[in-house]
Amino acid sequence: MANALIRYVSTVSCLLLASFTLQAATLEEQRNYFDQAKVALDKNNPLVYYSHKKALQGYPLEPYLAYLELNKRIKLASDKEVILFVKKHQDLPQTRWLEMRWLRLVAERGDWNTFLKYYQPDTFSELDCFYGQYLYQNKQTTKANELAEKLWLKPHSQPNACDVVFNYWKKQGKMTADIRWQRLKMALEAKEYRLANHIVGLLPASLTEQGKEFTYVAKNPTLIAKTQNFQGKDKITGDIVGLGLRRLARQDPEQALSLLQYYGTRLQFSDDQKVALANDIGLTFARRYDDRALPILAKYDANLDHDDVSEWHVRLLLRLGRWQQAQDLINRLPEQLAQTNRWKYWKIRVAQYIDPKAPQIIEQYNKLAQERDFYGFLAAQRVNADYQFNHQPIIVNNSMVLRIKNMPAIQRAIEYLYKGMDNEAWIEWHNLTRNLSKQEMLALSQLAYDMNLYFYAIRTLAITSYWDDLTIRFPIAYKDILVKEADNRSISPNWAFAIMRQESAFNDRIKSHAGAMGLMQLMPATAKETAKKFDIPLAKPQEALNPNTNIQLGTAFLGQMYGRFQNNRILASAAYNAGPGRVRQWLQNSNNVDFDVWIETIPFNETRQYVQNVLFYSVIYGHKLNIPQVLIEDHEMNFASNK
């Protein structure tokens, strides 16, 4: 987005100047004053802010400084001052945190009238706990007990204010042994061992040893291999063994499977435990294409209660070529799955495997081919039908776009972006979307697109679930450099655009939690290795954020994957996302697996969706660039030569 910022910075300056009659030099001064004040406030020195406060009037980010200053002295501020600030700056994202801190202080001094006037349930757990204190102190016992139970049944530690509520609740005789065990189970599920140890100390003496044993098994699931220690058939033994089996599945699936066969005939697992076992043990084997998963999935998710488990049950049958069983299971899928284009496609495809000459097949493919997604395009390719792009641009009122453009939140977001404060900019933008109508959201998306803020435009449009505007959803940014570098690496620009769209949505400053950077989301080690291999200048990893450098490195690495997998975009896309080693592993024993089955049974949900999106987006970009692209090339359908 750095280049985009340069293109609209003059527009931003004009927009800001229109809202307060100052010259451009004064705007630059305000930016400098902001920097000075923020640094000083971060060091608990408000004097710099006070000295520049008058000059900062009208500057979009001045409310943020006012928040920082008030937040620093919240314990000394009067209620009136805080209330006035909250009322004046309701649209400021940080205001809710300031209000939460203030309400905590109000509750601690017992001013319940003020607290109740401004308290909103289910906003912050700590405030809910203070509200629980109020209820108990004012003899609203039934309501207080209900809230206490709700606060108790959480897998994580609650604020200290909750301890008071729990003590009241306990005195009411409501903290039963069963409900204590429930929370212990939740804590261990979440690996909150410190909380678990605390709850073990709260268990009645009759359950203390089993509570300790539950904790030991959660940390060291191999203990359940000593079957003589788990002979009980009660619910508690089922809880302990059930969690142990699931944890063991990640360490030693073979042993977990063997123990499941032993315990499965001796213990009565709850419905939730059965689904969890199917999820952790059944899916472990299903993702390895091991048919031993089938009886587990059938037994422990018999009613198809868990979507991911049910879908993997079908996927394994597809991978094993058991078409009739797959058809039977697809016909049993719950409505929310059956109505997706994914399972509409596979219902037709499996019927085609069973009877290739069935007369309804072509008609059904043609119907699905009217859809614009991976499966719709796949159906179209099956019957040589045209892809249906179904482009319907959003229709927005220009006056609404202008009104939204002048909103303080948007001005703050724009100024944050100018100053390189990307996180703060997105917080502002996203916070605003919570308070806009759908039509206003569409106008906001159009505004972002017009300002070349493509990431913001795409994300905002996605929030509205409006998928038909292909101009905003699939912008053509960095075209010259990307087409040039794609040509240099002998890869399709359609595909390169699709990768960039999937990776970053054209946000050139984005960094993932894992450390991937820029438009094509390169890991520092990959950037360094690729730069060295292809002689691309890269003095330090941070330079990979530069759009031109990032595109050079990204297309070079993409071209490398393309060549490594015999020019197969299916495999190269998967390798770009998950690494070439994993793709080679997934290719083992796949000689007789059709390409669509192979894609559908990629073990990683993220990578499967990634590959499908990239192939689908490639067709879209081929249409937009006037370089027609089929979803799957003929040579990409043959996996036998790609190992």
Whether residue 71 contacts residue 98, with contact meaning beta carbons closer than 8 Å, is answered with: yes
Beta strands per DSSP E along 392-474: none
Which tokens is 105 given?
């202080």
Token readout for 585 is: 């592993």
Side-chain-facing half-sphere of 66: CA atoms under 13 Å: 20
Cβ neighbours of residue 500 closer than 8 Å, sequence gap 6 or more: 478, 482, 506, 519, 520, 551, 554
- How many helices (H) and strands (E) the chain has is answered by 38, 0
Angle at which helix 293-300 crosses helix 307-319, to 10 degrees, equals 150
Residue type, 139: K
Compute the Cα dihedral for 21, 22, 23, 27 and give only its sign: negative
Contact between 506 and 500 under an 8 Å Cβ cutoff? The reply is yes
Do 531 and 542 form a contact (C-beta atoms < 8 A)? no
DSSP H helices, 579-640, are: 580-587, 595-600, 605-624
Query: CA-CA distance, 426 to 261, in Å (whole number)?
Result: 50
**N- to C-terminal Cα distance for the chain?**
38
Residue 439 CA to residue 396 CA, distance in Å, equals: 7
Helix (H, G, I), strand (E, B) or coil at 511: strand
CB burial of residue 611 (10 Å; 0-12, 13-18, 19+): buried
Write out the catalytic residue numbers. Answer: 503
Q: Could you tell me which residues come within 8 angstroms of residue 507 by beta carbon, excluding any fewer than 6 positions away? A: 1, 454, 455, 519
Q: Which among 566, 284, 640 has a CA at the least distance from the CA of 575? A: 566
Q: For 303, how many CA atoms within 13 A lie in the half-sphere containing its CB?
A: 5
- Would you say 278 and 296 are in contact if contact means Cβ atoms under 8 Å apart? yes
Determine how many CB atoms are found less than 10 A away from the CB of residue 32.
12
Whether the CB-CB separation of 560 and 568 falls below 8 Å is answered with no
User: Cα separation of 367 and 355, whole Å?
Assistant: 19
CA distances for 250 relative to 285, 293, 294, angstroms: 11, 14, 18
DSSP designation for 222: G
Do residues 165 and 132 make contact, with C-beta atoms less than 8 angstroms apart?
yes
Q: How many of the other CB atoms lie within 10 Å of CB of 117?
A: 11
